[in-house]
Amino acid sequence: MIRKQILLPVLVGSAFFLGACGDDESAPVFPVITSSASAPVPASSAVAPLPESSSAVVPPASSAVAPFPESSSAVAPPASSAVAPLPASSASAPTPVNYAPLATSANKTIASTIYTQWKSYHFVTKETEATYYASIADDFSEVFTAAYEPAGRVVWSAQSSYYKASCSVSDATVATMKLRGCSVSEGIGYGMLLAYFNNDIDTYNRLWNYTRAYREYNRAKLMPWITMSFYWISVDNTSATDADLDIATSLILMYYKLKAQGNASADAYLADALTFVNAIWEKEVNPSTLLIYSGDDARWKTANAAYNLSYFSPVAIRLFAAVDPSHNWQGVLDANYAYMKKVQDAGTGVFPDWSDANGNAIDPDNGSAKNTYWLFNKESVRIPWRIAWDYYWYQDPRAGAILTTLNEFISKKASGNPDDKALAVSYSWNLSVGKDNTSGTTGSNHWYGAWCATGIAGNSTWLNKCTTGLNTKQKTLSNGPSSYFIDILTTMYSGLLNGLFARPF
């Protein structure tokens, strides 16, 4: 069979990367996915911003994942995309320390229930989707050969403007799926972490196969940031660094867990993790400053490039250093923590969604943040999760200082009450650049979780009140066509704050 990606320049033109990873100079023409997948979209399609994207509780030993069954799809990545793993003896686990205390109200059962709710709506298997998208299902095998079965994906929010053309299946049998034909790589990375921490082996392997199939099909080592269902039509094959970090992190954690169990599948996960780790170093780390680029696209590597601090995952970098001693990952960790402090110290105490190499807020010029780039907003909501995770596992004083500054900021605004309406405001990094956005009256669950996490570094009173409030508020997720980002981050914050984030070493 002639591989269909040969036809993509004719069908879709060059992709305009709105998300975390850039755009070309002109808008593309995307096909509408109908039963024939051939109807063009007018070139005048408007570019619109993305929707919102994108006492100690020590997990007991009994939370370990059981070994994979022999029939599972834990197979090594194809040779064309694999990087040979380091000898197992060199993949030493980071030295653990005691977990930082969580709230006395932390409840793993609640977090697991929230995960089950999330999965029931936002995750779909390839078999199920073949019944939803019957008109294109016969072509699923073009990307998802037998080597990548079984597979599943995290479904993105319904698209109403720019991506409506490329993410729609007009004759979908389920109405809520008609405009939800795409997945974004961050969702796959989050999904793999959530499945890992919830010991959900089948979902984890299906999502892993989703990344492997698309990387093999596109002959790439990093995950395309947006993909169409289980289908071969290209949307944008450039990368998003946060997703690559999260996918690689989950693979390394799975490696350590299975290795400790004596499971022979462990090395396959390490091999694929190293595929990511080496490619991240080559394509997503600034070789001069060691700051983390926003993606592999050239637009993120210019002298005035925009950086996204919500992509910095200290736990990921620590794990990379453990399995890849050939690169200076400690330098990456130190450089990015220093950069975070520089940005935070230059403003009100919160972070802008996007900042330049000098630490100033900057419009990323990708259509997503023209009127919000200076705010602690839809990108930065992930920062407390990533930094609190590092503090929970390692108690790095740099993480503690960042969280303490954030917590002092919001505690003062809310008079110590996590249920105060102050949590509904999107705060400005620097009021001389732009003012606060005070239009909100009720904070969403993922933001509530973000502000809760700032208390982990020492404000136990705030952490206890806030975790109790989060566990009350989030008993039922939105689970709607446009709630992808809110629900997945709410589930992530719930897992962290309720003690599901167990180390495998």
pLDDT score for 41: 29
pLDDT score for 443: 84
- Give the whole-angstrom CA distance, residue 318 versus residue 249: 10
pLDDT score for 1: 37
pLDDT score for 328: 98
The mean-pLDDT minimum among 90-94, 343-347, 427-431 falls in 90-94
pLDDT score for 401: 98
- For the chain, what percent of residues have pLDDT higher than 70? 82
pLDDT score for 214: 98
Give the pair of three-digit tokens for residue 480: 């709607």
Contact 391, 457 (CB under 8 A): yes
pLDDT at 452 over 80: yes
pLDDT score for 43: 32
- pLDDT one-digit tens code per residue, 367-378: 889 999 999 999
Contact 419, 464 (CB under 8 A): no
- Give the whole-angstrom CA distance, residue 474 versus residue 489: 11
Q: 59-73, 94-108, 169-183: which has the highest mean pLDDT?
A: 169-183
By DSSP bridging, strand 31-32 and strand 39-40 are antiparallel
- Give the whole-angstrom CA distance, residue 143 versus residue 165: 21
pLDDT at 30 over 90: no
pLDDT score for 55: 32
pLDDT score for 32: 31
pLDDT at 75 over 70: no
Band (52; pLDDT cuts 50, 70, 90) = very low
The mean-pLDDT minimum among 82-91, 269-278, 280-289 falls in 82-91
Query: Phi and psi for 15 in degrees, rounded to 5?
Result: -80, 140
pLDDT at 9 over 80: no
Q: Show the CA angle centred on residue 132, arms to residues 126 and 135, nearest 5°.
A: 95
- Give the whole-angstrom CA distance, residue 411 versus residue 417: 7
pLDDT score for 314: 98
pLDDT score for 93: 74
The mean-pLDDT minimum among 34-38, 239-243, 287-291 falls in 34-38
Q: Long-range contacts made by residues 106-109, C-beta under 8 angstroms, separation at least 24? A: 106/57, 106/467, 106/497, 106/498, 106/499, 107/471, 107/498, 107/499, 108/57, 108/59, 108/498, 108/499, 108/500
Contact 176, 133 (CB under 8 A): no
Alpha-carbon Rg for the chain, nearest whole angstrom, is 21
Instruction: From 334, 266, 312, 227, select the one nearest 86 (Cα to Cα).
Output: 266
Would you give the distance in Å from CA 463 to the centre of its chain?
Answer: 24
Q: Where is 136: in which H helix or E strand?
A: helix 134-137
Q: Which residue has the higher pLDDT, 373 or 63?
A: 373
The mean-pLDDT minimum among 29-43, 123-137, 257-271, 326-340 falls in 29-43
Mean local confidence (pLDDT), 27-33: 27
Q: What is the DSSP string of 166-231?
A: TS-BTT-SSGGGTT--EEEHHHHHHHHHHHHHTT-HHHHHHHHHHHHHHHHHTT-SS--SEEETTS
Would you give the distance in Å from CA 325 to the centre of its chain?
Answer: 25
pLDDT score for 96: 72
pLDDT score for 473: 85
The CATH classification number of 10-37+82-497 equals 1.50.10.10
- pLDDT one-digit tens code per residue, 244-284: 999 999 999 999 999 999 999 999 999 999 999 999 999 99
The mean of the pLDDT values for the chain is 85
- Give the whole-angstrom CA distance, residue 137 versus residue 228: 12
Band (388; pLDDT cuts 50, 70, 90) = very high
pTM for the model stands at 0.85
pLDDT score for 79: 36
Amino acid found at 428: S
Instruction: From 115, 106, 114, select the one nearest 196 (Cα to Cα).
Output: 115
Is residue 428 helix, strand or coil? strand
pLDDT score for 440: 80
Mean local confidence (pLDDT), 317-343: 98
Band (161; pLDDT cuts 50, 70, 90) = confident
pLDDT at 413 over 70: yes
Exposed, middle or buried by CB within 10 Å (0-12, 13-18, 19+), for 55? exposed
- Give the whole-angstrom CA distance, residue 388 versus residue 405: 13
pLDDT score for 311: 98
Mean local confidence (pLDDT), 322-333: 98
pLDDT at 393 over 80: yes
pLDDT at 37 over 90: no
Mean local confidence (pLDDT), 33-62: 32
pLDDT at 80 over 50: no
pLDDT score for 60: 32
- For the chain, what percent of residues have pLDDT higher than 90? 78
The Cα-based distances of 95 to 385, 386, 481 in angstroms read 21, 19, 42
- pLDDT one-digit tens code per residue, 422-448: 999 999 999 999 999 999 878 899 999
Mean local confidence (pLDDT), 150-173: 94
The mean-pLDDT minimum among 49-53, 126-130, 351-355, 461-465 falls in 49-53
pLDDT at 308 over 90: yes
pLDDT score for 44: 32
- Give the whole-angstrom CA distance, residue 221 versus residue 218: 9
pLDDT at 45 over 60: no
